[in-house]
Amino acid sequence: MKKTTIVVTYCKHGRGLIKINGYPIELVEPEILW
């Protein structure tokens, strides 16, 4: 498993979508982020 976290931010039609390692940030547990 990679230790590098890839964060991709999209801004489309005024709606922001942040993906971490290809998964929407809503699906990522806060414990992983912090």
1-34: pLDDT as tens digits: 566 666 665 555 555 566 666 666 665 555 655 5
Q: What pTM value is reported for the model?
A: 0.23
CA distances for 8 relative to 1, 17, 22, 23, angstroms: 19, 8, 8, 10
Q: In this predicted structure, what is the pLDDT of residue 31?
A: 60
Alpha-carbon distance 10 to 2, whole Å?
Answer: 23
Number of domains in the chain: 1
Sign of the CA dihedral running 25, 28, 33, 34: positive
Q: In this predicted structure, what is the pLDDT of residue 15?
A: 58
Query: What's the distance, CA 11 to chain centroid?
Result: 13
Task: Quote the domain boundaries for residue 28.
Answer: 1-34
Residue with tokens 């990679």: 2
